[in-house]
Chains A and B, each alone.
Chain A
Amino acid sequence: MIKFLLDREEPSSEQIRQRMDFDSIYGGVKYQKWIMNPWIYVLGGVFTALIWF
């Protein structure tokens, strides 16, 4: 079902700039790279095993 919105007010350029700064996006990319790194899971497993045994 499509919704039609007539004469909708768009955020201004300033509002968009304030809301979407590059640093927060860059932070998201860094976080994504970090969680995708298999080494953190390997090292996490080794560390857990060391504590356990």
Chain B
Amino acid sequence: MAVNLTYHQSAFRLDEEMKLVERAKEHPRYFAPLYERYHEAIFRYVFKRVDETESAYDITSCVFIKAMGSIQKYENRGVPFSSWLFRIAKSELYQSFRDKKAQRTVSIDSVTLKQVMDDFTDDSSEENRAKLLVALGKLKEAQLQLIEMRFFEKRSFREIGEIVGLSENNAKVKTFRALLKLKELFNKKE
């Protein structure tokens, strides 16, 4: 499966990014190059998980206000800076679901949905599509997140691991288990 390659950066780029982070620690004004680099990716991550565009803009703004306010605490662990931003985005999203300011949403395009369904059945009828959506809705939140990132957003296991706080191998194993669970729920007779 093709994965999103923009996340995987060369050592040179990671090094250059760390210089930008160090500069941003001096004054929030210097956060601008990092903001320009990542605000769209963070917005799209949030947008796919909430039902209203306005909520996505609000949550993304909160993510960056929080990131700029707490950049002093950021430590370089050899992973792209974006994984730290994605973690803040994840926590802001769940906060807004708890506060009922946004509704948990899964945005899927029909082509990707059909690709996932092809793994389960040869019959991609409307009925099976609805059945797959019901099965997805029955997954635990952590499992749904893994399926969402791997299959609907085409992220690599390394990136998924860094966002959810797992090793690459652990992310792979857990995604595989989530897929098995989805298959089981899909094939379950009502």
- Pairwise interchain contact B137-A32, C-beta atoms closer than 8 A: no
The 5 closest A-B pairs by CB, nearest first: A3-B105, A28-B65, A29-B68, A5-B107, A25-B64
Tell me whether chain A's interface is mostly helix, strand or loop, or mixed.
helix
- Pairwise interchain contact A3-B65, C-beta atoms closer than 8 A: no
Q: Which residues from chain A contact B107 at a C-beta distance below 8 Å?
A: 5, 8
- Pairwise interchain contact B65-A32, C-beta atoms closer than 8 A: yes
Can you list 12 A-B contacts with CB-CB less than 8 angstroms, sorted by A residue number?
A3-B104, A3-B105, A4-B133, A5-B105, A5-B106, A5-B108, A22-B39, A25-B68, A29-B65, A29-B69, A32-B65, A33-B69
Q: Which residues from chain B contact A8 at a C-beta distance below 8 Å?
A: 107
Q: Which residues of A contact B (CB under 8 A)?
A: 1-8, 10-11, 13, 16-17, 19-20, 22, 24-26, 28-30, 32-33
Closest-by-CB residue of B relative to A5 is B107
Q: Which of B61, B106, B109, B144 contacts A20 (CB 8 A)?
A: B61
Q: Which residues from chain A contact B68 at a C-beta distance below 8 Å?
A: 25-26, 29
* CB-CB under 8 A for A3 and B109, given A10-B44, A26-B29, A29-B28: no
Q: Which residues from chain A contact B69 at a C-beta distance below 8 Å?
A: 29, 32-33
Could you tell me the distance between the alpha carbons of A33 and B36 in the complex, rounded to whole angstroms? 22
Q: Which residues of B contact A (CB under 8 A)?
A: 28-29, 31-32, 35-36, 39-40, 43-44, 47, 51, 53, 57, 60-61, 64-65, 68-69, 103-110, 113, 133, 136-137, 144
* CB-CB under 8 A for A22 and B35, given A2-B137, A32-B69: yes
Q: Which residues from chain A contact B36 at a C-beta distance below 8 Å?
A: 22
Closest-by-CB residue of A relative to B68 is A29
Could you tell me the distance between the alpha carbons of A29 and B109 in the complex, rounded to whole angstroms? 36
